[in-house]
Structure 1
Amino acid sequence: MSLSPAEVQATSRELHALRDALPLADAPIESALGYAPGGLQAALDIQSSPIEVWRTRDYLVSLARAYGAPIPHFSRLSDAMRSRAQHWFGSWDVPEV
């Protein structure tokens, strides 16, 4: 399962929109996900492994629900695509909010 360049751009825009809606600095998000500084940006820019992109997406969605922030429509990282992604990449754990 790979994304076309247009899908990568759209997915990155969706993740950045979700991140931008949250009233948190990057550092606590990176810490929760176990990322080094800059790791969050790599995931948002689709420059990390697919599992890390999905973990980031899921954690940001959990944060958005906790803070009452809007959750964008995901074109490729939709809940409907989750089982397919897990088939390709394996499962992933998401930290609790």
Structure 2
Amino acid sequence: MSLNAEERRRTAEELRRNLTLTALTDQQVAADLEWTPARLTNTLDIENADPVDVWQLRDYLAQAFRDTGHEPVPFTVLTDRSRAMARAWFALRTAPRHDFMPTN
């Protein structure tokens, strides 16, 4: 499963938009995923990213939204239907969760 140029552009835009809206920092995301900052940047840019990393980041961001009672900006390429196809090609990993501290 490979994405064409337009799908890569849209996916990168959706990942960045969701990251911005979570209010999580790049450092928090990289730490939660146990990635280097460079790996996070590469995955957000998507161009030469590992597809497994892209899916893991997508799932991490979606879960971060749900954990705060919100829904992420919809992913138009990385959908549940395309996940089924991706599983046939890649060994997808479960995304960790960000530990949101309750505010008083």
TM-score for the superposition, normalised by structure 1:
0.90
Decide which structure has the larger Cα Rg and report it: 2
Q: For 1:1-97, list aligned pairs within 5 A.
A: 1-46=1-46, 47-97=48-98
Count of residues in Structure 1 that have an aligned counterpart in Structure 2? 97
Indicate if the aligned counterparts of 1:30 and 1:40 stay in contact, CA closer than 8 A.
yes
Q: Which runs of 5+ in 2 are unaligned?
A: 99-104
| 1:72 CA drift (Å) | 1.5
Q: Which runs of 5+ in 1 are unaligned?
A: none
Note the aligned Cα RMSD (angstroms): 1.4
User: One-letter code of the match for 2:80?
Assistant: D
Indicate if the aligned counterparts of 2:64 and 2:97 stay in contact, CA closer than 8 A.
no
| 1:25 CA drift (Å) | 1.1
SS at match of 1:42: helix
| 1:69 CA drift (Å) | 4.2
CA distance in 1, matches of 2:75, 2:81: 10
Indicate if the aligned counterparts of 2:55 and 2:92 stay in contact, CA closer than 8 A.
no
